[in-house]
Each structure stands twice: as structure tokens, then as C-alpha cells.
Amino acid sequence: MEKLFTEINKRNVHYGAYVEQIRDLFARKQESLKTKDDKFFSKYWQVYAWSAIIGMINDKKEEGASLPNQSSFQYQMITNGSESIAHALLLMAIGKIEAKESSDFLNSRKLLTVISEYAEGGAKHILEIRQTPGYERKFDSPDDYLLEVVQR
């Protein structure tokens, strides 16, 4: 497992259009961390991880999703920011892979693709919630994030 984690930490994260939309809605631009604004997340990896968790919990996966955007961060940045989140994403991805052999879920690129497909699905789910009448401003308030966690 240690070898897999070392290998996955060296890889760049890829994401698609839905994660990009969520990132733009809820994360500060990383180069302007000193700027005060109403964005909940201060790092792009946090939005990616949140979207992936939402996708996995709600079983929302965009299988075969186009992931044309290569992030400016490697998975190591998630590990550095929160080792427990990095481990949880990896374990959830392993749990979501339908494998016949251990080699099917010990491939670091495949695991990252699974995480990204769930991040896309989670981001799409969040955007759909915001299109529901009465929920157009969902997640504009920090309280919305806490309520979402409590509702889980």
C-alpha cells in the first residue's frame, strides 16, 4: 500500500468541466489568498476533494468523462493539505472499483481516474442542486457546508 501511495502522490490530477465550474464558483484563485472574499475554499484541491466525496457518497460517477484539464497540482498536494482526506479518497476509490484481481485496483492512474470521475459526478450533482428552485444559492453560505455534512 505504501508503494501505491508513493506512486499516486507523484501523479497530476485531471478534471473536467463540471469540477472547473465548481472550482470557479467556490474557490479563491490560489494566487490571491490574501484577498478577502466570500469563497469557502482557499485551495483548488479542496474543491476537487469535496466534489469527489459528494460524488462517492451519492454514487454519482461520470464514467468515461472527458478530463481534459490537468491540474496545477499533484495528488501530493492533497496529501500535504490533509493526509486523512488523501487516504480517504484513495480508499473510497479502491472500494468503488470492481476488480477481479489486485492489479485492477493497484494502478495509480486508474485510481486517480476513478476519483476524478466521481469528482465530475459530484460537481454535476452540486450544479443540479443549485438549479433546483429554492436552492439557487446553495453553498453560497458557509452554513450550507455544515448542514450538508450534518445531513449525511
pLDDT of residue 30: 58
pLDDT of residue 29: 67
pLDDT score of 93 more than 90: yes
Burial 57-95 (b: 16+ CB within 10 A, else e): eeebbbeebebeeebebbbbbbbeeeeebbeebbebbbe
pLDDT score of 31 more than 60: no
SS3 6: helix
Measure CA 74 to chain center. Answer: 13
3 band by pLDDT with thresholds 50, 70 and 90: confident
Q: What is the pLDDT of residues 114-134, one digit of tens each?
A: 999 999 999 999 999 889 898
50 band by pLDDT with thresholds 50, 70 and 90: very high
pLDDT of residue 51: 95
pTM comes to 0.85
Q: In whole numbers, what is the pLDDT of the chain averaged over residues? A: 84
Q: Tell me the average pLDDT across 138-144.
A: 76
